[in-house]
């Protein structure tokens, strides 16, 4: 199932000594995709089809996401991060991981730049 979120991103590309690459993404959601409870802020990914499947994935705002290094979207993500463009990310999460303080694997299905706000 795909989920969507809108906001700006920060992207970090690291190359390890064995030459494998990791892409780390930090998300700064728009107000529509953020929930605040007390002092804690959360990112909300909503179902891409909420009428038939009203599901959501919620993560602490400081959660980092990783994606597949050969992602076709790396150039678009990097460009959006550099310009601080608001984007819409449509993605899937391969595992239903309840822990929100670790890096979460995200598989990006599409990116819309700029997002229609």
> Domain segments of the chain: what residues?
3-112
Q: Bridge partners of 60?
A: 42
Please give the distance of CA 111 from its chain centroid, rounded to a whole number. Answer: 10
Q: What is the mean predicted confidence (pLDDT) over 26-39?
A: 94
Q: Which of 70, 72, 66, 58 is nearest to 26 (CA)?
A: 66
Banded model confidence at residue 100, pLDDT cuts 50, 70, 90: very low
Length of the chain equals 117
User: What would the pLDDT profile of 33-69 be if each residue is shown by its tens digit?
Assistant: 999 999 999 999 999 988 888 899 999 999 999 887 7
Class of domain 3-112: mainly beta
pTM for this one? 0.82
Cβ count near 18 (within 10 Å): 5
């Amino acid at each position: 199932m795909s989920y969507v979120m809108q906001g700006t991103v920060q992207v970090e590309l690291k190359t390890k000594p064995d030459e494998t690459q990791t892409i780390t993404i930090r998300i700064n959601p728009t107000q529509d995709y953020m929930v605040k409870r007390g002092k804690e802020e959360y990112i909300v990914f909503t179902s891409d089809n909420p009428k038939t499947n009203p599901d959501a994935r919620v993560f602490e705002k400081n959660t980092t996401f990783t994606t597949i290094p050969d992602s076709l979207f790396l150039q678009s993500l990097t460009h959006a991060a550099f310009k601080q463009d608001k984007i819409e990310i449509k993605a899937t999460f391969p595992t239903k991981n309840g822990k929100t303080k670790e890096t979460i694997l995200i598989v990006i299905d599409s990116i819309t730049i700029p997002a229609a706000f």
